Amino acid sequence: MKTLLKLVLAVLILFAVWLLVKQFTTPMNFVTERNAREAVIIEQLKDIRTAQHAYRQSHQRYTSSMDTLIAFVLNDSMTYERAIGSEDDSVAVARGMVRREKFRMAVKDTIYSGKGYSDQYIRNMKIVPFSDGQQVIMDAGSLTTESKVVVMVFEAKVPYKMFLSDMNEQQLINLIDERKNFEKYPGLKVGSMTEATNDAGNWE
């Protein structure tokens, strides 16, 4: 009987230790994985912001459609201007040898120069990583500031539920509740439809 009691007590002690360890490691593991996933999505939202800025440069407005934005990046081009000759050279200027000419360059080769993005990466820019194929939520329009200035705005956002749903449910609930208590968006987003933020991300 004493041996059985000792065995039961040992099992209970081990279980209590396991619960204690889990109590500390679960939040730590959640934060570590959340940070890793957020880093990926932040880069995606930055790329969307870059594309939106180029789209506005060409169309004088933002777009609310991810498909339109992606098609613009993949298929369109932008107009640039370059100087032929130096305007600091007075002789060349006097002889009419200095001029400016316009040229066009593919959008994707301009805004993502040096990043080596494939067409497939750009096509997938609307898909939220770590989700089951859900898409980035995006809107665009205009608003009037307090100084009565009309500004173009856009917003692209990814709620936590989209990319953390397969993780610890209670930790996710706690995170969302914490953000709502501080009146902050429960997820990652860039830009805003309600205020002029210079298209800043809520992580910046």
pLDDT digits 0-9 by tens, 182-201: 999 999 999 999 988 889 99
Report DSSP letters for 68-106, one per residue.
HHHHHHHH-EEEEEEEES-TT-HHHHHTT--EEEEEEEE
pTM: 0.80
pLDDT digits 0-9 by tens, 80-112: 777 665 666 666 556 666 667 777 888 998 999
